[in-house]
Amino acid sequence: MQTPQRPTLTQFLIDERRRFPEAGGDFNSVILNIALVCRRISHAIACGALAGVNGSADSTNVQGEDQKKLDILSNDLFIEGNQWGGQLAGMVSEELDEPYSIPKPYTRGRYLLLFDPLDGSSNIDVNVSVGSIFSVLRAPDSRRATKAEDYLQPGVEQVAAGYAIYGPATMLVLSVGTGVHAFTLCPLVGEFMLTHPNLKVPEDTSEFAINTSNSRFWEEPVRRYVDECIAGKTGERGKDFNMRWIASLVAEAHRILMRGGVFLYPRDNKQPARNGRLRLLYEANPIGFIMEQAGGRASTGHEPVMQVKPTDIHQRIGFIFGSKNEVERIEQYHKHPRRVDSPNPLFHERSLFTETPNMQ
């Protein structure tokens, strides 16, 4: 099989570094170490049941979620593959209760790594695409062990973010703040090759993704938006929409990055104590960084997600991202809620489903 001559991930990073002569090599090493870990995870996933790595680990993580064997394996690979190089001061993982400080005899470096080692792992056993998500921040002080407060930086402070998607092909999608580029793992040479430079999210779309089984818990602006999409040509929007739902954040983000769309996992009242379902630091912020670097938009519905000041390393948040014009429309619906006397007879407060107040 002949393949066109394409730059490798290493060559791409070297070219990027040449634009900043004052930069050292530590940053490139961080990204290359992550890429190596993703290659190892890809191999483990491909082996699947043959290697005995599918199925439940009969344990839960700090989120109270059931862990898969591959969750634990992927987390171990991220720790093992990134602690030794001297570039990191510490790490935060979805699978760890507390931050992981680089142990002796390894030296500490200038960066922090935050990651979801295997997003969408509940789909592993049915062979649906899953992925790894990562975010890179600067360490406030590399001379000491990291504290939880060191990681509580808003998404705008990220110096790099990306994800690997393990599907029909394994791809690494990366932004170092100069656009978004996707690299495909070549099975012939075992290297990530640049195949999709300068990806852009279309500003408009006719696809949306949301879990409609939660519709009874949605806030009114989200219900309003989805109702309009479902109404199609006969409704206010005057065009038909298609709905998608994979239940894997990486797979949803990758589809939107490649062809447009909008994804909604909004805050709702299903669990009122939670501000949302997805984690801010190692899911929403890195995906938001990717989307905005590609010309899309990422939001909580109320504000840009990357401007949110974190309060906890495992903080949850409502998350809406994708094609810019659709996300901005949803934000406007939150800023300017529909009046209760607006025409929507099934859902507004004075509908046939609401009891008439007792007038005494």
Which residue ranges make up the annotated binding site?
Answer: 94, 116, 118-122, 211, 283
The number of beta carbons lying within 10 Å of the beta carbon of residue 355 is 5
Annotated binding site for substrate: 119-122, 211
Cβ atoms of 132 and 82 closer than 8 Å: no
Among candidate residues 162, 199, 177, 190, the one with its CA nearest the CA of residue 16: 177
- Known binding positions for Mg(2+): 94, 116, 118-119, 283
Residue 55 makes CB contacts below 8 A (sequence gap 6+) with 68, 69, 125
Bridge partner residues of 314 (DSSP): none
Q: What is the end-to-end Cα distance of the chain in Å, rounded?
A: 82
Cα 16 to chain centroid distance, Å, stands at 24
Smallest Cα–Cα separation from 168: which of 217, 128, 132? 128
- Nearest CA among 65, 124, 77 for reference residue 248: 124
